[in-house]
Amino acid sequence: MSAPTLQSLPTVDASLYPSGGLDILSRDEVARLRDASTGMHDLLRRCALAVLTSGNASDDPRAARELYPEFDIQVEQQDRGIRIDLKHAPAMAFVDGVIIRGFAELLFAVVRDLAYTAMEMGEGCNRNLRTSSGITDAVFDLLRNARALQPSTDPNLVVCWGGHSISRDEYMYTKNVGYELGLRGLDICTGCGPGAMKGPMKGATIAHAKQRQRRMRYIGVTEPGIIAAESPNPIVNHLVIMPDIEKRLEAFVRIGHGIVVFPGGVGTAEEILYLLGILLREENAQLPFPLILTGPTASAPYFEQIDRFLRLTLGEAATSRYEIITGDAGAVAQRMIAGIRKVREYRIVHKDSFFFNWSIDIPLEFQRPFVPSHEAMAALDLHHGRKPCDLAADLRRAFSGIVAGNVKEEGIRRIEQHGPFEIHGDPDMMQSLDALLRAFVEQRRMKIAGDYQPCYRVVA
Identify the pLDDT of residue 165.
Answer: 87
Q: How many residues does the chain have?
A: 460
**Burial, 430: exposed, middle or buried (Cβ in 10 Å; 0-12, 13-18, 19+)?**
middle
Report the 3 state secondary structure along 358-409. Answer: CCCCCCHHHHCCCCCCHHHHHCCCECCCCCHHHHHHHHHHHHHHHHHHHHCH
**Close Cβ partners of 434 (under 8 Å, ≥ 6 residues apart):** 458
Strand partners, 12: 89
Do residues 165 and 447 make contact, with C-beta atoms less than 8 angstroms apart? yes
Listed residue (288, 252, 285, 297) closest to 271, CA to CA: 252
User: pLDDT tens, 336-381?
Assistant: 999 999 999 999 999 999 999 999 999 999 999 999 999 999 999 9
CA-to-CA distance for 238 and 127, rounded, in angstroms?
A: 26
In terms of CATH architecture, what is 138-364? 3-Layer(aba) Sandwich (3.40)
Query: Which amino acid is it at 76?
Result: E
Q: Given a cut of 70, is residue 26 above it in pLDDT?
A: yes
Identify the pLDDT of residue 231.
Answer: 87
Q: Given a cut of 80, is residue 122 above it in pLDDT?
A: no
Identify the pLDDT of residue 27.
Answer: 80
| Strand, helix or coil for residue 9 | coil
Q: What is the DSSP letter of 231?
A: P
Identify the pLDDT of residue 449.
Answer: 55
**Burial, 98: exposed, middle or buried (Cβ in 10 Å; 0-12, 13-18, 19+)?**
exposed
CA-to-CA distance for 411 and 166, rounded, in angstroms?
A: 23
The listed CATH number (3.40.50.2300, 3.30.1330.10, 3.30.565.10, 3.30.1850.10) that belongs to domain 9-122: 3.30.1850.10
User: pLDDT tens, 251-288?
Assistant: 999 999 999 999 999 999 999 999 999 999 999 999 99
* Percent with pLDDT over 90 in the chain: 70
Number of helices followed by number of strands (H, E) in the chain:
17, 14
Query: Which amino acid is it at 185?
Result: G
Domain ranges of the chain: 9-122, 138-364, 370-459
Q: Given a cut of 50, is residue 3 above it in pLDDT?
A: no
State the number of CA atoms in the 13 A half-sphere of 361 facing the CB.
Answer: 11
Identify the pLDDT of residue 39.
Answer: 78
Query: Which amino acid is it at 36?
Result: A
Task: For Cα atoms 99, 104, 109, give the angle at the middle one, nearest 5 degrees.
Answer: 165
Q: Which residue has the higher pLDDT, 409 or 188?
A: 188
Q: What is the mean pLDDT of residues 199-211?
A: 97
Do residues 177 and 294 make contact, with C-beta atoms less than 8 angstroms apart? yes
Listed residue (270, 292, 274, 373) closest to 339, CA to CA: 292
Mean residue pLDDT of the chain comes to 90
| Strand, helix or coil for residue 241 | strand
Do residues 161 and 387 make contact, with C-beta atoms less than 8 angstroms apart? no
Decide if 9-122 and 138-364 have a common fold.
no
Listed residue (90, 70, 146, 77) closest to 114, CA to CA: 146
Do residues 237 and 218 make contact, with C-beta atoms less than 8 angstroms apart? yes
User: pLDDT tens, 52-67?
Assistant: 988 665 556 567 778 8
Q: Given a cut of 70, is residue 448 above it in pLDDT?
A: no
Under the banding of pLDDT at 50, 70 and 90, the label for residue 2 is very low
State the number of CA atoms in the 13 A half-sphere of 258 facing the CB.
Answer: 27
CA-to-CA distance for 61 and 125, rounded, in angstroms?
A: 29
The backbone torsions φ and ψ at residue 368, rounded to the nearest 5 degrees and listed phi first, read -65, 130
User: pLDDT tens, 237-254?
Assistant: 999 999 999 999 999 999
Do residues 394 and 382 make contact, with C-beta atoms less than 8 angstroms apart? yes
Q: What is the DSSP letter of 318?
A: G
pTM: 0.91
Query: Which amino acid is it at 170?
Result: E
Q: For residue 83, what is the enclosing H or E element?
A: strand 81-90
Query: Which amino acid is it at 142?
Result: L
Q: For residue 89, what is the enclosing H or E element?
A: strand 81-90
CA-to-CA distance for 374 and 390, rounded, in angstroms?
A: 21
Neighbours of 234 (CB within 10 A): 17
Listed residue (225, 221, 159) closest to 192, CA to CA: 221
Identify the pLDDT of residue 72.
Answer: 94
